[in-house]
Chains A and B, each alone.
Chain A
Amino acid sequence: MPAALTVFRAFLFLASSPGIERHFVRLVKGALDWWSGKKIAVIGPTASGKDSFLARLQNREIPEVHSNSPMGEKVKSFRVKLALSNHQVIDITCKGVINIGGETDYRDAPSGWLSVCADADVVFYVMTVNDLSKKRYLKGRRIRQDLDWLQTAMPHLKPGALIHILINKIDQEIESHIDYRSLAEELAEDLRALNAIVKNVLHPYESSYTGATLISMKNKQIYTRAINDALRSVYSGFYGTVKRKKAE
């Protein structure tokens, strides 16, 4: 009984301290954030490699049974734990991920891309290196239409949600990950043009854009190299958001 009384007195003392409420709320919120995991959304045109990316994130091989996704399907929660090259560690539990098709029909349906992206912390937009070299990000073309859609979707996404572009299928251009840098240099002009257009189209939400990464879901070496770059950019995006929030 005296012990209970002491605990109660200590609680009253702490509760009366200035700022304790704020600390308590932050503690509880931090714990909840930690346990709730992160939600990612993977969108992009058909056959751009969305399913393969989800498989790679789960450390699975690209499935043999591979289908043109005919409806939104829930993906079982999975954990992504990766040690990045600069000693940062990505340890997130992806929850509530939905796999959806890439045809514009899915993009424009109310239960389509918007419902997939609505609660996402990170939206990965997957396109192909062919889309980049054929400049499908120019006005009236598919990638640009998707970016226009993304801009209108931004107000309905989670505050602070980040957008990252993955430019897939670079294994069609290079044989090995050793040639990655030379391809990046070769495509530098296209990449700059894409970045400029994305920032322009996403305005005033351009700060959510964390960049575009050349990747191959098929080639494991290229994937390992590229995902490191992509997640570092996303990580920096999160860190930047936290810093910005603190500054405000």
Chain B
Amino acid sequence: MRAYWILPNRDQKDEIYASDGETIRPLRQILDPKFRPEGFSHGVPTELLEKFGPKAFAEILFAQRFPNWSGDKQLFSVSTTAGLDSSGRVVHLGLLFILEPHERPRFELPYASLSEEDKAYASALIHRMTSSVRGDSWTQSVRDLIELPSDSRPATNVALDRSVVRFRSLYVVGPGGLTKKAVNRSKWRTTAIVLLTLFAVVVAWLFVHSKNRPLALRHGEQSSRPTVQIGVVTWRFN
């Protein structure tokens, strides 16, 4: 596992910078822009900020997972807002993981070398991801994304409406905040599969039964009703 901080662009520099916990260098030296997966986000998407409003900025966590990103390696990132830049725009702090197949991110990257302002946000992010705070649906959504069974599709913890890429997502933003979508959807999927199986069994039974019934009659089944025999098939009239 390799892990890096994606640092907030507070000074509106031309490049995005990253840190391995010790040294700071341009993110492009770690993750070449040419190889960044389509839809990769360097922070919390604007649509989430707009939906939740400034009061909830600190709560929002946005996570992405790109399985089979480079060969069998996967890319995982978690972002949070990290204050404002020099012209008052919201900036972001992220944790980027380059993982081997079936490896899980470990939230233990040091942040002592970051600026004082960034340190506070880094510490808060690590704390949220490593402690069990009840009722923190954002953290739970990131954990659920980590536990999501492996799939070749890219996934996010929360559904996005304005992304240029379609992501598999576990949670959805509703009037009550963040709600789990995947459970309901999988329930519906299970119900649909059960109903379809039942339907298939009934159809199969009817098919076999309608074939066997005349044969049974042909082999001398007793019936109180009058029968008419045409060839080898017997039809019963009511």
Residues of B in contact with A (beta carbons under 8 Å apart): 8-9, 12-16, 27-28, 33-34, 36, 38-47, 49-50, 53-54, 79, 85, 87-92, 162-165
Complex interface: chain A residues within 8 A of B8 (CB):
68
User: In the complex, which of the residues B33, B47, B85 contacts A68, with contact meaning CB atoms closer than 8 Å?
Assistant: B85
Residues of A in contact with B (beta carbons under 8 Å apart): 45-47, 63-75, 98-99, 101, 103-112, 115, 142
A68 contacts B9, CB within 8 Å?
yes
User: In the complex, which of the residues B36, B38, B44, B164 contacts A70, with contact meaning CB atoms closer than 8 Å?
Assistant: B44
B15 contacts A105, CB within 8 Å?
yes
Complex interface: chain A residues within 8 A of B27 (CB):
105
Complex interface: chain A residues within 8 A of B40 (CB):
71, 109, 111
Complex interface: chain B residues within 8 A of A72 (CB):
39, 163-164
Q: Is the interface of A mostly helix, strand, loop or mixed?
A: loop
How far is the CB of B171 from the nearest CB of chain A, in Å?
A: 18
How far is the CB of B150 from the nearest CB of chain A, in Å?
A: 23
Complex interface: chain B residues within 8 A of A108 (CB):
28, 33-34
How far is the CB of A52 from the nearest CB of chain B, in Å?
A: 11
B89 contacts A47, CB within 8 Å?
yes
Taken together as a complex, chains A and B put the C-alpha atoms of A111 and B38 apart, in Å, by 5
Taken together as a complex, chains A and B put the C-alpha atoms of A228 and B43 apart, in Å, by 35
User: In the complex, which of the residues B44, B46, B49 contacts A99, with contact meaning CB atoms closer than 8 Å?
Assistant: B46
B14 contacts A73, CB within 8 Å?
no
A71 contacts B42, CB within 8 Å?
yes
Complex interface: chain B residues within 8 A of A75 (CB):
162
Complex interface: chain B residues within 8 A of A47 (CB):
12, 85, 87, 89
Nearest A residue (CB) for B9:
A68
B164 contacts A66, CB within 8 Å?
no
Taken together as a complex, chains A and B put the C-alpha atoms of A217 and B143 apart, in Å, by 41
B88 contacts A66, CB within 8 Å?
yes
Contact A46 B14, CB 8 Å, known A108-B28, A109-B36: yes
User: In the complex, which of the residues B14, B28, B34, B42 contacts A45, with contact meaning CB atoms closer than 8 Å?
Assistant: B14
A103 contacts B16, CB within 8 Å?
yes
